[in-house]
Structure 1
Amino acid sequence: MFRKVSLALAATLIVASAAWADPIEGNWKTQAGSTAAIAGSDTFSITLKSGKYSGKTIGSFKAAGDNKYTGTITDPETDKTYSGKATLSGASLKMSGCVLGGLICKSQTWHKL
């Protein structure tokens, strides 16, 4: 009896933890065609998993509410870091890197895998 209850509790916790995961977490296809993994809980780290810069961490974001995130994003080719923002809309993530307080931004859209 105890074993059945333990298994049921474990299964419930696994399902519940998946439901509590932030929607930004997971694997994303970048505009350049690489795969980026976003993981974390309070701070989300972005690491390239494929492509020329595989293994490189390129960003750090925090939730800002309403499916928006703020933080920093690094261009893996130049190693320059910019003020970053991201907006999640369904299975699309619009990523932007900005300079001059957000006056000049370069954006791209990633898609959830």
Structure 2
Amino acid sequence: MMRRFMLAAALTLAAATAHAAEPIEGNWKTASGETAAIGKCGTAYCVTLRTGKYAGKQIGRLAGKDGEYSGEITDPAEDKTYSGSGSINGNSLKMRGCVLKILCKSQTWTRL
């Protein structure tokens, strides 16, 4: 009886750990090689470039949890803002920006 209880507890803990939320906060290497920092700003997460031509510029604001985020993303070269989203899978962050939800571009960033 005790062995079954311990096995059930271990399986439950393993399942809970496997479905733990992936944190978006931290430093990420963008598709173009710059470093972007993502951190809390109010109730959302702000995306700020740390290196490159646009270092110091905030390029996004996302809200969400459990590895899925949505909000706005700005292309710093064109200074245009799009509806955006981000989804985390391990050490990869897939960022997506869209115009009218039909014309979209995606990039994959890597956690540093």
Establish whether TM, by shorter chain, passes 0.5.
Answer: yes
Partner of 1:44 in structure 2? 45
Structure richer in helix, relative to its length: 1
CA distance in 2, matches of 1:91, 1:22: 9
TM-score normalized with structure 2 length: 0.77
**Could you list the runs of 4 or more consecutive aligned residues of structure 1 that deviate by over 2 angstroms after TM superposition?**
none
Secondary structure of residue in 2 paired with 1:74:
strand
Partner of 1:111 in structure 2? 110
Partner of 2:84 in structure 1? 84
CA shift for structure 1 position 66: 3.8
How many pairs does the alignment contain? 91
TM-score normalized with structure 1 length: 0.77
CA RMSD, aligned part only?
A: 1.6
Would the aligned equivalents of 2:94 and 2:108 in 1 still touch at CA under 8 Å? yes
CA distance in 1, matches of 2:29, 2:99: 24
**CA radius of gyration, larger in:** 2
Q: Deviation per CA, 1:53-105, whole angstroms, max 9, x where unpaired? A: 10000000001x441100000000000000001110000000000011x1111
**Structure 1: gaps (5+ residues):** 1-20
| Fraction of identical pairs, as percent | 57
Secondary structure of residue in 1 paired with 2:51:
coil
**Structure 2: gaps (5+ residues):** 1-20
